[in-house]
Amino acid sequence: MNWTLAQRAEKMNPSVIREILKVTEKPGIISFAGGLPSPLTFPIDAMREAAERVLRDDGKAALQYAASEGYAPLREWVAQDLLKQGMKVSPDQVLITTGSQQGLDLVAKILIDAGSRILVETPTYLGALQAFTPMEPIAVGVNSDEHGVDAADLRAKVGTGADKARFVYLLPNFQNPTGRTMTEERRAAVAQVAIVSGLPIIEDNPYGDLWFDAPPAPSLSARHPEGSVYLGSFSKILAPGLRLGYVVAPKALYPKLLQAKQAADLHTPSFNQRVVAEVLKDGFIERHVPTIRALYKQQCEAMLAALDREMAGLGLSWNRPVGGMFLWVQLPQGMKAIPLLDKAVAKGVAFVPGSAFYAQEASESTLRLSFVTATVDQINTGMAALAAAIRESL
């Protein structure tokens, strides 16, 4: 059979990361490549007890079809939780999604036409590029530095008339892939550009709770509530296998997102939503998330110490994240990450080449390291192996 594919299907690509992960999942490889949270943080006992209570007390509703908007107590919890980000939203603005990845897909469906310009950070989250690409946008990278997108370049790239960007997609906290965080001043400058030019912001914040010493500045959505869509997730604070996230949208946009959600999957699993609402009641997050922060901070410090020790004098540079799961490395001038990965894997260590994360011209000499799934011993051994692979490539 000769299948004639839709143009949008022609544009879909396998995730480069998933392809790389296949190589790196060989037994014995120390992987800094994955984007997975540490399974040590999954609240298995709390989930089991909550699941039993939900099935015992509310089993029929938990196993039935449900409202597309999501389970009301969970929407209320989300609205309440967002106050800490400076966001005052009504539960009616919260749409529970099947992971925040689905939020990206729904946003793409309702805001992008073929040929629409959209603006993204340089680099940006690969999964967002994958969600946006089937809608056939022209994705334009905005210059970015250690503090996120450059506000002047953002202003210059907004465009006008039919060329005006449909939105800018931003990750202000502990960004994937770089681990960068936007400063308060940068947030103010970016929000100002968005407000003055009427540019919608899509704010993606799955890592915001994973700060090490101090919470990040208030969200962009708090500064531009009528012009922002905010995406949140339970993947990094509870468990990704639940596939639970949410979108918060202004009232004017919410009905369209809801229609797209209905068409996609009717609703997010009722059972998972009820179990999580049950887990979350009585302040569980305030007890649980600090344990994740402490673990990730310790692992980040171990990786930074190993980098300082092993990479001294090799001509690399890297950032020092203040939260999240990733850090970003700039290789010495002229060294390319993809051939380096082959050498590194041969020595038993893996990372993700940074080139996967760019909307336009990719930097071939960057790489992303996750510090959360390897143990401190593995971090030390893996970093020595990576330094050996780099020395061989000099």
Ligand X SMILES: Cc1ncc(COP(=O)(O)O)c(C=O)c1O
List, in order, residues 6 or more apart from 287 with CB less than 8 Å away: none
| Residue number with CB closer to ligand X (200 or 245) | 245
Q: For residues 206 and 323, which CB has a smaller minimum distance to ligand X in the complex? A: 206
Q: Output the smallest distance, CB 78 to ligand X, in A.
A: 13
- Provide the minimum distance between the beta carbon of 216 and ligand X in the complex, in angstroms, as a whole number: 14
Bridge partners of 168?
119, 201
CB of 187 to ligand X, least distance (A): 17
Smallest distance from ligand X to CB 164, Å: 25
Shortest spacing between CB 129 and ligand X, in angstroms: 11
Both structure tokens of 271: 């059972």
Which residue in the shown chain puts its C-beta closest to ligand X?
99
The answer to whether residues 151 and 189 touch, using CB atoms and an 8 Å cutoff, is yes
Beta carbons of 180 and 187 less than 8 angstroms apart: no
**Reduced 3-state DSSP string for 142-154:** ECEECCEECHHHH
Plot region of 243 (φ>0 → left; ψ -120 to 50 → alpha; else → beta): left
Q: Which is nearer to ligand X, 178 or 380 (CB)?
A: 178
* Residue spans of beta strands (DSSP E) within the chain: 30-31, 94-97, 117-121, 138-142, 144-145, 148-149, 168-170, 201-204, 228-233, 245-248, 317-318, 326-330, 349-350, 352-353, 366-370
Q: CA 307, CA 384: separation in Å to the nearest integer?
A: 9
Which lies closer to ligand X via its Cβ, residue 106 or residue 385? 106
Which residue ranges make up the site for ligand X (CB under 6 A)? 35, 99-101, 125, 127, 171, 176, 204, 206, 233, 235, 240, 245
What gap in Å lies between CA 304 and CA 294, rounded to an integer? 15
Q: Which is nearer to ligand X, 100 or 380 (CB)?
A: 100
CB 78, CB 104: distance < 8 Å: no
- As measured in angstroms, the least distance from the Cβ of 119 to ligand X is 16
Q: Which is nearer to ligand X, 99 or 137 (CB)?
A: 99
Least separation in angstroms between CB 231 and ligand X: 7
Residue placing its CB nearer to ligand X in the complex, 31 or 101: 101
Contact in structure between 11 and 349 (CB atoms under 8 Å): no
